[in-house]
Structure formats: structure tokens, C-alpha cells
């Protein structure tokens, strides 16, 4: 289906680089939520706040668990200490410690990277029901380099992690549903995409925009599609930035806002996205969302050509320039560096 390739058919999202609750870049809304939480700190929070403010001296409040100590060492970068603390717990069946060891070995932190050892610990924690481990081990089973590939088991584990509310698992399992049933999987996938999107996964937010834009799994609604595109774009997903910029320029799903649309496309172009570079060259050439600027259009046209993403319109435009303007554009393109 047009428009869904990037979000739905171009591979599963990779695991986050660390054991973290978030998904990477956070939206402005999350920033505001954190700020309002800080500003509310002085408000009455009940007995729990009273205990915290008076410095509770109970053993539970002053003595971290062995698992907490292992994870604390990990967070501070003391990876060998984290291993030393986590291994006895992992051998006793502690899934959090097992998952921590899987993380350390999968990334080679303080030790030689060992995906087989990581898979062993992730598998043990996954069997105990740890959602993070289920997700990680599912990805290892799909990759099939450290262990024998097992797509069916990977799907079951991904679903288990998704049903526990792990956002990246929700996103990936939604993709699996569509891959398994390209004609009928959208309805089941929409709920998982929505949960991941609401948790802040930019790729899932983009996927929701495409579902609403095409009426797959949800009723077609261009206004809601545009809203999800904006959220994903604000979270830094470059494909969403390009689509959202084009929608703003064309007035799709809402009023036309060519200047804002140009800004999104220019941002994506400065990051080196070939599609955005092509579009920005045209916008400068035609003066859409910005003042006409032949010199800027020529530079972006050269970059588009180098990235094999030019078109006859840009080629004709560049050939129509005088030799001095062409030379200046080539020199400007040579100086260009992505952000």
C-alpha cells in the first residue's frame, strides 16, 4: 500500500541501546510534563510525600536490593562490578539480573561482546516473563546469527512483551501482524501501533498517520493523520518530517502552512535526507514557503544529483544557469556538511 513502506515493511525496530524506559527523542509534550511535575513538587502528596520529606530511615528506604546495586553499578559504568553483583542473582533465577547480563554481553560493555552468552541470559529471563528480555531475545531469534533462527518463537515472545506494554515490542508486533496478513492484519495491528505511538515511539506515530491517511485498520481521517505526522516529525523521525512538510505545503489534512512546511523539509535536508534535499531544491527554485533563491536551489540541486535523487526539472534548471552560477553551486555543495 503506498505510503506504508517505511513504517510497516522496512524491518523491525532495533532494540534501544540501553535498558531504558523511553524510546529515544522525546516530544515537547514530555518535556512539559516533566517540568510540571517539578513545579508540583511542593504540593501535598499525602503520606508518601511526608515520609520522603522527613527522611524515612526504614531499612527498605536506606538499603538497596542486590539487584538494585548491580543495576546501579551498570548505570555508573562499572560494568565488571555489575557482572560480579548480577551473576550470583542470575544463577538463582533473578530475571532482572539475567536481563542485565544479557545487556552487558550483547553490547560488549567491559567484556568481549558475546551474543551467544547474551542470548543465554535473555532466554532465561524471557522464560521468567521479563518483557525486556522477551523483546531482546525475540530480536536475536529473528536475526539468527547467535542462535538458530526461529521466527515463530520470536513472534510469540514479541507478542508477550507487547502485551506487557513494552512500546518497541508493541510497534514490532504490529509490523509482524501486517507481514503475516497484508490484507487483514491492519485492524489487529492498529491497537498495538496506537499504544506504542502514545508511549512516544516516533515510528509508531508515523505508522498511525499512515493508517489514518489510507483508512487501513481505522477509518480514514486526514486531520488525525496530520496530527500523528506532526507528533512523529516533532520527535525527529525524518520520514515524518518530510511527509509533514509536504502536507503543510499542500494543505493536506488542514490549512496550508508553506513556511512551516519548508522549515521541516529544510531541517530534514540539512540532516542529509535525499528526498528532502530534492524537495528543498524545488522550493528554493519556485519560491514556495521561502523567497526564491537560485543560488540555494542550485546548491541543493547539485546535492540531489550526487545522491542520485535528481529529476528532469532540477536537471533542466541547473543546465539553464550560466557557468559562473554552476561553479558557485558546485563549490557550495562541496562545502556542505550534514548536521
Q: What is the pLDDT of residues 217-274, one digit of tens each?
A: 999 999 999 999 999 999 999 999 999 999 999 999 999 999 999 999 999 999 999 9
pLDDT score, position 184: 85
Query: To the nearest 5 percent, what fractions of the chain are helix, strand and coil?
Result: 65, 0, 35
The residue assigned the cell 541543493 is 300
- Is residue 175 within 8 Å of residue 192, measured between CB atoms? no
Closest CA to 23 of 126, 123, 172: 172
Mean pLDDT for the stretch of residues 161-168: 98
Could you tell me the pTM of the whole model? Answer: 0.78
Is residue 178 over pLDDT 50? yes
- Provide the percentage of residues in the chain whose pLDDT is more than 90: 79
Work out the number of other CB atoms within 10 angstroms of the CB of residue 107. 16
Report pLDDT digits (tens) over 8-30.
Answer: 333 344 333 222 222 333 233 22
Mean pLDDT for the stretch of residues 73-87: 96
Is residue 332 over pLDDT 70? yes
- Confidence grade of residue 67 (pLDDT, cut at 50, 70, 90): confident
Amino acid at each position: 500500500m503506498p505510503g506504508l513502506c517505511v513504517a510497516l515493511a522496512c524491518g523491525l525496530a532495533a532494540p534501544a541501546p540501553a535498558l531504558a524506559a523511553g524510546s529515544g527523542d522525546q516530544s515537547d509534550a514530555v518535556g512539559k510534563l516533566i517540568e510540571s511535575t517539578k513545579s508540583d513538587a511542593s504540593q501535598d502528596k499525602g503520606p508518601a510525600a511526608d515520609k520522603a520529606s522527613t527522611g524515612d530511615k526504614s531499612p527498605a528506604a536506606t538499603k538497596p536490593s542486590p539487584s538494585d546495586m548491580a543495576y546501579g553499578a551498570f548505570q555508573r559504568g562499572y560494568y565488571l562490578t555489575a557482572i560480579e553483583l548480577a551473576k550470583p542473582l542470575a544463577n538463582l533465577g533473578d530475571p532482572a539480573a539475567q536481563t542485565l547480563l544479557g545487556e552487558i554481553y550483547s553490547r560488549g560493555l567491559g567484556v568481549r561482546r558475546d551474543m551467544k552468552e547474551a542470548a543465554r541470559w535473555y532466554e532465561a529471563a524471557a522464560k521468567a516473563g521479563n518483557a525486556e528480555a522477551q523483546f531482546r531475545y525475540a530480536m536475536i531469534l529473528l536475526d539468527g546469527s547467535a542462535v538458530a533462527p526461529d521466527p515463530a518463537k520470536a513472534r510469540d515472545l514479541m507478542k508477550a512483551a507487547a502485551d506487557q506494554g513494552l512500546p518497541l515490542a508493541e510497534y514490532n508486533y504490529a509490523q509482524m501482524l501486517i507481514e503475516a496478513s497484508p490484507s487483514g492484519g491492519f485492524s489487529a495491528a492498529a491497537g498495538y501501533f496506537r499504544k506504542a505511538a502514545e508511549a512516544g515511539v516516533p515510528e509508531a506515530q508515523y505508522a498511525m498517520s499512515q493508517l489514518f491517511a489510507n483508512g487501513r485498520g481505522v477509518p480514514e481521517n486526514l486531520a488525525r493523520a496530520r496530527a500523528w505526522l506532526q507528533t512523529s516529525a516533532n520527535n525527529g523521525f525524518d520520514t515524518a518530517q518530510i511527509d509533514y512538510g509536504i502536507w503543510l505545503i499542500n494543505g493536506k489534512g488542514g490549512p496550508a502552512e508553506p513556511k512551516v512546511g519548508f522549515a521541516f523539509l529544510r531541517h530534514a535536508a540539512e540532516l542529509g535526507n535525499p528526498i528532502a534535499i530534492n524537495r528543498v531544491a524545488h522550493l528554493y527554485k519556485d519560491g514556495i514557503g521561502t523567497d526564491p533563491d537560485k543560488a540555494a536551489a542550485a546548491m541543493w540541486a547539485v546535492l540531489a544529483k550526487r545522491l542520485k535523487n535528481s529529476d528532469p526539472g532540477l536537471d533542466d534548471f541547473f543546465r539553464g544557469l550560466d557557468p559562473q552560477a554552476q561553479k558557485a553551486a558546485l563549490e557550495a555543495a562541496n562545502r556542505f556538511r550534514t548536521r
